[in-house]
Structure 1
Amino acid sequence: MREYDKFRSECAAEIASMGDDRELALATRSWMDRANRAKYSYHFEWMGRPIIQYPQDILAVQEIIWSVKPELIVETGIAHGGSLILSASMLELNAISGGPMDAQVIGIDVDIRAHNRAAIEAHPMARRIRMIEGSSVAPEVVSAVKATATNKGSVLVMLDSNHTHDHVLAELEAYAHLTTVGSYCIVFDTVIEDMPQDAFTDRPWSKGNNAKTAAREFLKRHPEFEVDQSMQHKLLITVAPDGYLKRVQ
Structure 2
Amino acid sequence: MSPYENFKIECRDEITRQGADSRLLQASSTWFILANGGKYSYHFAWLGRPIIQYPQDILAIQELIWQVKPDLIIETGIAHGGSLVLSASLLALLDYGDAAATGTLLDPTKPRRTVLGIDIDIRAHNRAAIQAHPLASRIDMMQGSSVDPDIIAQVHAKAAGKERILVCLDSNHTHAHVLAELEAYAPLTTVGSYCVVFDTIIEDLPADMFPDRPWGPGDNPKTAVWAYLKTHPEFQIDKAIDHKLLISVAPDGYLKRVGCQPADT
For the aligned pair, the TM-score class normalised by the smaller chain equals over 0.9
Quote the residue 2:263 is aligned against: none
AA partner of residue 236 (structure 2): E
Quote the residue 2:21 is aligned against: 21
For residue 19 of structure 1, report the CA deviation from its aligned partner.
0.2
Instruction: Show structure 1 runs of 4+ deviating over 4 A.
Output: none
For residue 151 of structure 1, report the CA deviation from its aligned partner.
1.1
Structure 2: 5+ residue runs without aligned partners? 100-105, 260-265
Computing the radius of gyration over CA atoms, which structure comes out larger, 1 or 2? Answer: 2
Distance across 1 between alignment mates of 2:94 and 2:5: 22
Structure 1: 5+ residue runs without aligned partners? none
The reply on whether 1:169 has 2:190 as its aligned counterpart is no
Quote the residue 2:93 is aligned against: 93
Distance across 2 between alignment mates of 1:114 and 1:224: 39
Distance across 2 between alignment mates of 1:140 and 1:76: 15
Distance across 1 between alignment mates of 2:51 and 2:214: 22
Aligned to 2:176, the other structure's residue is in SS state helix
Cα deviation digits, residues 194-226 of structure 1 (max 9, x gap): 001101111110000000000000000000000
Superposed CA RMSD: 1.1
Aligned to 2:167, the other structure's residue is in SS state strand
Aligned to 2:226, the other structure's residue is in SS state helix
AA partner of residue 232 (structure 2): H
**Alignment length, in residue pairs?**
249
Aligned to 1:97, the other structure's residue is in SS state helix
Q: Percent identity?
A: 63
For residue 189 of structure 1, report the CA deviation from its aligned partner.
0.1
Cα deviation digits, residues 55-112 of structure 1 (max 9, x gap): 0000000000011000000000000000000000000001111289511100000000
Quote the residue 1:151 is aligned against: 161
The reply on whether 1:57 has 2:67 as its aligned counterpart is no
Distance across 2 between alignment mates of 1:33 and 1:72: 34
Quote the residue 1:195 is aligned against: 205
State how 1:220-235 maps to structure 2 within 5 Å: 220-235=230-245
State how 1:97-246 maps to structure 2 within 5 Å: 97-98=97-98, 102-246=112-256
The reply on whether 1:68 has 2:62 as its aligned counterpart is no
Distance across 2 between alignment mates of 1:78 and 1:248: 28
